[in-house]
Amino acid sequence: MTVPVALAVTAVLALTGNPADRLADRPLDPVRYDYAHRCIGHAQRGTRMLESWLTAHWAGESWGIVRCERFTGRPIWSLHSEGRALDWRLDAGKPAERAAALRLIGLLLAPDRTGTPAALARRMGVQEIIFDCRSWFAGAPGMARYSACYDARGRPRRIDRTSAHRDHVHIGLNWPGARAQTSFWRSPVSRA
């Protein structure tokens, strides 16, 4: 029997043990990105649930959620300002921690058993991931260059390790995810 190419690729990339597989029969949460516009100053419920889930299941530890910061020259605030982003400490310079971070990102962005891309991110309401000068935003096919690490001509810039996200993984949620209203947070899978 000939396996269609698309199916074969999905089969290779899908990960075993992906919690999103257990939700595959539920309606999909929309792909969306919500910019932050103000300082709210407290952690949202879904962000705290993400922190608890990572604490239970992953190497590393929380570096916190709330931090009010406005991007210079733009009317946009960091997702931390609205309590919708978590910094998870894992160091790209330490092989075991780097591997754990890449496994986490790989899991969030893997297709589920039905082939839905970035299935767990979508189920959780994750809308951005930044690690080691790479970033992903909802709807993108995968991680790409993180703009803060490069100048306007695409040359690497000298920035500190934290700004380059070499010492932590930044995970930002859209509003449904931050309110714990997406399918993952509403299901028992999130407490497994």
> What are the tokens at 76?
């946009």
3-state secondary structure of 109: helix
Nearest CA to 39 among 7, 69, 14?
69
**123 lies in the binding site for Zn ion (CB under 5 A):** no
By rule CB under 5 A, what count of residues binds Zn ion?
Answer: 3
Using CB under 5 A as the binding rule, whether residue 87 contacts Zn ion is answered as yes
Identify the residue among 129, 170, 182, 189 touching Zn ion (CB under 5 A). 170
CA distances for 121 relative to 8, 66, 155, angstroms: 22, 21, 30
**How near is the Cβ of 162 to Zn ion at its closest, in Å?**
9
Instruction: State which residue, 122 or 165, has the beta carbon closest to Zn ion.
Output: 165
User: Whole-number minimum distance, CB 91 to Zn ion, in Å?
Assistant: 15
Q: Cβ of residue 38: shortest distance to Zn ion, in angstroms?
A: 17
Name residues whose C-beta falls within 8 Å of residue 182's C-beta, 6 or more positions apart in sequence: 29, 46, 122, 123, 124, 125, 176
Instruction: Estimate to the nearest angstrom the gap between the alpha carbon of 167 and the chain centroid.
Output: 15
Q: Which is nearer to Zn ion, 166 or 170 (CB)?
A: 170
For the bound state, the minimum distance from the C-beta of residue 5 to Zn ion, rounded and expressed in Å, comes to 38
Query: Which of these segments, 9-17, 79-87, 89-97, 138-146, binds Zn ion (CB under 5 A)?
Result: 79-87
Q: Please check whether residue 185 is in contact with residue 53, taking contact to mean a CB–CB distance below 8 angstroms.
A: no
Q: Is 84 in the site for Zn ion (CB under 5 A)?
A: no
User: Residue 140: CB partners within 8 Å, gap ≥ 6?
Assistant: none
Q: Which is nearer to Zn ion, 64 or 117 (CB)?
A: 64
Least distance from C-beta 145 to Zn ion, angstroms? 18
State the Cα–Cα distance between residues 80 and 87, nearest whole angstrom: 9
Question: Which of 4-12, 27-35, 84-92, 93-101 is the region at the interface with Zn ion (rule: CB under 5 A)?
Answer: 84-92
Name the residues that contact Zn ion, by CB under 5 A. Answer: 85, 87, 170
